[in-house]
Every structure is written in C-alpha cells, then in structure tokens.
Amino acid sequence: MLTLHEAADGWLARVRLPGGRLTSQALGVLATVCEQHGNGLIDLTARANLQLRGLGTGAGTQLASCLAAAGLLPSVAHDRVRNVLASPLAGRGPRALDEIDAVVALLDERVCASEALHDLPGRFCFLVDDGSGAIREMGPDVTLAARGGGRFGVALDGRALEFEGDGAAAVDVAVRVAEAFVAARGDAWRLSETPGGAATVAAALGLALTPMTRAVRTPAIPPGAVQQRDGGVALTALAPLGQLWPALLRELARLGDDVRLSPRRTLTLVDLDAGRVDDTRAALTAAGLVLEDDSGWVGLTACAGAGACPRALADVRAAASARAATRRASDPPEHWAACERRCGEAPGTPVAVVCNADDDVEVRFDARTWSVPTLEQAAGRLTLEAAR
C-alpha cells in the first residue's frame, strides 16, 4: 500500500486483509479511493487481498491516509507482513471445529506489535484453520489449526509442532516462530527456504516436530448458500477472474457488514438471516457476480494479462472468458498465465495455460504437458482432455 508497483495500466497498490475480512465501512472507502485515485478496477488476489489499479504516481500518501482511517492500515511498518489466510466461513461451516475470528484478529495485532517482524518477508504467510482444512493447499509457512473445544495446534511448513493450547497460546507460538525465522532466514523468503527449514525454527523454540503430512486440496466453497453451525446463512458468490469495481463494493456494503474474500476469488456474506437469502442472491447476481455452482467460471482464474502487466505476452483474460463459456464447473481447477512467472496460480492447480513466448503456449493437464502455438488451440486441447 505504501510502495506502489508499476503496471501497464498505471501504479498498483495491494491492500492486505487478514482473514479476507471487509466491513461495510471499508468497502465504501475502497470504492471511493478506487474512483478518486485509480482507474476503477480492483483485483481479488490469490491470497484474498485486493489490488487497486491505475493509480497516479503520487497517490500513495493519500491512499494510505484514507485506508488507515478505515482500519486497513493499523501499522505502517507492518504493511507488507499482514499475510493471514482463513476460510471465508471462518468457523461457521459444518466441518469447522471452532470459531477463529478472534484468533485471526489477535494474530494480526500481535504481528503488528512485534518490532522484529518489521523484517518479515512479504511472501511469508500464516493460516488460521478452523478445523475444516480449507485452503491449506496454499502452502502457509505457519498454520494455527483448531482442534475443537477452544484448543489449537501449530504447524510449520506442514509439520505439526508437539504443542496444543488455547487460541492466545497458539498465536504466541506463531509469532515466536515468525521472529525465529527472521533471525535465521538469511536471504530466504519462505520457511521452506531457510537452512534446516522448519526444524531449525522449531529447535530455536525448543519444540519438537511431527512428520510431514501432505496438504490435500480441499473442495472450494461453491457459489450459493451454506447453513452455518449457529443457524445463520453464508452466501458465496464468485467474481469472474477476480475483478471487482466500485459500484459492486458499494452494493456489497449495502447488503451486509461482514464480507469475506477467499484465495479462490469468491466473496462470502456471513451471518445472514434465512429470510434475506433470496433477495441477497438476486442483488449479487444483478451486480455481476456468479451465484450458480454449475457455472464454467467455477475454478477458472487468470493473471492480469496484456494491457495490465508489462510482462504479459497475450490477453489471457479474454481467452479465459471464452473458455468459461465451454468449460464445466466439474472440470479441474485451471489457471491462465500471460508469461512464465505464472502470477496468480495457486499451489497445486492441476490445469494451466502459460504463454512462454510468441507461438509457444504451454498446456498442462495433470501430469501431461503440450506446446501449442495459440491460446485458441490451448482451449481446444483442454476441452479434448476434459472429455476423455
């Protein structure tokens, strides 16, 4: 947010949202800032943050002032390090073992209070898991996992520590892990890149590690309504290609005071009364979001592409949009990338289209890979493989 990034359509600011959580006040401020200082486009990122696009070169100071007033910049020194993921249902879903909103908030507060964590790399990531296992495949460096009854465990790079405690104790361990990583990391960006990896950090804390367990991609929360454990209703909508705009943010603010973003480019309104669900669903559909769980947009993502990124070799957003018209929601998750950096591709995505150079488009479907000359032929190959 404080150091803008240059893109093909102007400067870009990333707004980090621990737990993907947005209040109606924050939604309104973001809409106004986007209109006054940007080009009206907002991206929902693969870490459930937001990117404001098309900003002017001098917009950083005004942007920071506006967003700080809305509670979106609690610490200037920690702007890059507030990377905390959580399920958009946040303990409300049928598979959840415990509520986690308070744990997410406490973790963010403690990270911002640690002077040592000024130097935590922006790629380092926490996950607060409500016990459902949602989005563990994102590969967090530190996971705080609910075990039921108010108890939490902590895992480092997928390996659980021999520890169990309440939410506050788990947050304390997570912060100590991050501080130990900063002390030991050298030039490493992630815990897995540290010499000795998780074992080095665990030893610094005097805690033992259990064997590695492989993260399994959990089913995404589909568009539509989910009955919460407390009797309320959560309504999830998909933003095609993760793109948002000011009028949509204002409509979301009107519909609810608690909106949750996810790495799968969805927006979830939680704690709705059952009697409001149909009207809210109709309003979200009218606003341009996808509420049908059989849509070809389900599981389909793309990077910014030509016109928005200077490295882009093609307009992959247009190609992905065409693909959505023929794709089935039951097809494996897929990502379209306009260059070899593969920005926005979630870990473990089974299907990908990547522009490596002119006339060299790589198509990956599970373990098989092909090279084709055009994006149109890439889409044809995916249709063929999905039909087998």
Residue 238 DSSP SS3: strand
* Residue 256: partners with Cβ closer than 8 Å, 6 or more residues away: 24, 269, 270, 271, 272, 280
Q: Are 4 and 11 in contact (CB under 8 A)?
A: yes
**pLDDT at residue 1, as a whole number:** 62
Q: What is the 3-state secondary structure (H, E, C) of 116-159?
A: HHHHCCCCCCEEEECCCCCCHHHCCCEEEEEEECCEEEEEECCE
**pLDDT at residue 213, as a whole number:** 66
Q: Supply φ then ψ for residue 383, to 5 degrees.
A: -60, -40
- Paired tokens of 107: 């973790």
**pLDDT at residue 5, as a whole number:** 83
**pLDDT at residue 313, as a whole number:** 95
The size of the chain, in residues, is 388
* Residue 223: partners with Cβ closer than 8 Å, 6 or more residues away: 236, 237, 238, 266, 290, 291, 292, 293, 295, 298
191-to-115, 166, 173, 217 alpha-carbon distances in Å: 19, 24, 15, 20
Residue 8 DSSP SS3: coil
Q: Are 318 and 307 in contact (CB under 8 A)?
A: no
Is CATH 3.30.413.10 the right assignment for the domain spanning 90-220?
Answer: yes
Q: Supply φ then ψ for residue 6, to 5 degrees.
A: -85, 130
Kindly report the CA angle at 148 between 144 and 150, in degrees rounded to 5? 75
Neighbours of 64 (CB within 10 A): 17
Overall CATH class of domain 300-383: alpha beta
**pLDDT at residue 12, as a whole number:** 87
Between CA 200 and CA 184 the distance in angstroms is 8
**pLDDT at residue 106, as a whole number:** 98
Domain spans of the chain, in order of start: 1-73+223-293, 90-220, 300-383
Residue 218: burial class (beta carbons within 10 Å; 0-12, 13-18, 19+): middle
Between CA 168 and CA 263 the distance in angstroms is 25
Q: Which CATH number fits domain 1-73+223-293: 3.40.50.300, 3.90.480.10, 3.90.1150.10, 3.40.50.2000?
A: 3.90.480.10
| Low-confidence residues of the chain: pLDDT under 70 | 1-2, 212-217
Q: Which long-range contacts (CB under 8 A, 24 or more apart) does 346-350 make?
A: 346/46, 346/137, 346/138, 346/263, 346/264, 346/301, 347/137, 347/138, 347/139, 348/137, 348/215, 348/217
90-220 and 300-383: same fold? yes
- Paired tokens of 319: 């190609």
Between CA 4 and CA 59 the distance in angstroms is 9
